[in-house]
């Protein structure tokens, strides 16, 4: 029998919940503590938990390193792209109000913040994963009996 059956079953149940909680923290940033960085770390930790329990090869199949590279840059591009979009719409860099100039309840600000926070989430998640992959790939995987 697999020595780590309990661990694997529990992780399989927990990992989606962790990722879900990460997204909750992300969107909760508008109303309380939270936001992109914290959520990014939580989502990344769900993948790292998977890598710890099932082995790094399995994790690399789930979230390939090429995704990681592109994801990191995509996040920064989303953030910078929001700023460039505000430029093109006539305001200063990252002046979110130009997204919805006529709104009375600052809808432009809401859209802008949402957009940059998604960028931050993307970057932080994949950056954490990149760091983990870089470190974890250097040592050979421990066999099941060793831990």
Query: Looking at beta carbons only, is 49 or 98 nearer to another protein?
Result: 98
Whole-angstrom Cα distance, residue 60 to residue 42?
Answer: 18
Query: Looking at beta carbons only, is 3 or 103 nearer to another protein?
Result: 103
Residues near another protein (CB under 8 A) are 29-32, 35-37, 69-70, 72-73, 76-77, 79-80, 83-84, 87, 91-98, 104-106, 109-110, 112-113, 116-117, 120, 131, 134-135, 138
Whole-angstrom Cα distance, residue 39 to residue 20?
Answer: 10
Query: Looking at beta carbons only, is 8 or 109 nearer to another protein?
Result: 109
Least separation in angstroms between residue 41's CB and another protein is 9
Check: CB of residue 92 under 8 Å from CB of residue 83: no
Least separation in angstroms between residue 28's CB and another protein is 11
Tokens of 4: 């780590």
Q: What angle do CA 84, 89, 93 make, to 5 degrees?
A: 40
**Distances from the Cα of 104 to the Cαs of 29, 90, 107, in angstroms?**
22, 19, 8
Query: Looking at beta carbons only, is 49 or 113 nearer to another protein?
Result: 113
């Amino acid at each position: 029998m697999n020595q780590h059956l309990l661990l694997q079953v529990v992780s399989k149940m927990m990992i989606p919940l962790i990722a879900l909680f990460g997204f909750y923290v992300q969107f909760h940033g508008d109303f309380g503590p939270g936001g992109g960085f914290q959520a990014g770390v939580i989502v990344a930790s769900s993948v790292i938990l998977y890598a710890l329990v099932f082995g790094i090869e399995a994790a690399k199949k789930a979230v390939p390193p090429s995704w990681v590279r592109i994801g990191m840059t995509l996040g920064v591009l989303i953030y910078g792209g929001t700023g460039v979009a505000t430029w093109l719409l006539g305001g200063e860099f990252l002046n979110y109000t130009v997204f919805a100039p006529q709104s009375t309840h600052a809808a432009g600000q809401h859209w802008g913040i949402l957009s940059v926070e998604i960028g931050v989430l993307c970057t932080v998640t994949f950056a954490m994963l990149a760091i983990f992959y870089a470190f974890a790939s250097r040592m050979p995987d421990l066999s099941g009996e060793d831990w």
